[in-house]
Amino acid sequence: MSASPSRLPFDPLINGFLRFPRSDGAANCRPKIRKETALTGVLNYEELVPHYDKRNKEWRKNIGTYLMVQLPIKAYSIADFPEHYTLYSKPRLSGKTDNAEVLYLCESTYVNNFRSPAQFAFHAYWFMMDPTLTRDNCEYQWCTGTSQKELSKRLGLNVDHYNSGTAKPRSEYDVSMLGQHGRDTPPILPVEDPGKEAHSKFRSSQPFPCRRHGVGSVTTTDHRCIR
């Protein structure tokens, strides 16, 4: 899907904001367990993140940034998510990361949810460029089978992690977060057994007196008595 800047299939920018001309969203695709309907004691609910919330603004800004990579435009944000799309937060119950919540963009007819702006970027491009919304034209990972890692490379990002709402450019991500070689974790260094080290020191300087001469004498490792 390509078009010249003068014939783009969407409305021009208004005050630097981009608006989606079409959507596959549906109100009946919203999460089933929401905070306002969850029973007492149920923690596995999803809570709406309103338009004015900074998390909502950050997602929209990042989506606009990723669209800039694909479209001949200079937009710094999108005015709103596609029709019927809403951003939800969900408490993280596993405790595997420092983040207390995860964010989901929900209510797509075809996709259960999008877990990062980078993951949504190519679906967003499809909305902008295909007036027919023919799904075969969508390059989102679950529409084409292309990995998110590969799609992120095309955006100039290192995003292969869910919920990377503030993904950094690949070069910055590698240096500041993953080290020179782009590792997720630093290489494992050998660790000496502290017990072994203590035992070695103990053998070279035994605190016991010589059995023959008693207190005031020390037996060395070669069994010589020093008084």
Residue 87: what are its φ and ψ, rounded to 5°? -100, 130
Are 124 and 47 in a shared domain?
yes
d(CA 208, CA 211): 9
**Hey, how many other C-beta atoms are within 10 angstroms of the C-beta on 106?**
21
Encoded tokens for 24: 């596959």
| Domain end among 133, 158, 179 | 133
pLDDT digit string, tens, across residues 99-108 = 678 899 999 9
pLDDT digit string, tens, across residues 146-199 = 888 899 888 888 754 444 444 444 333 333 333 333 333 333 444 455 555 555
87 assigned to some structural domain: yes
Range of the domain at 31: 11-133
Are 218 and 109 in a shared domain?
no
The domain tally of the chain equals: 2
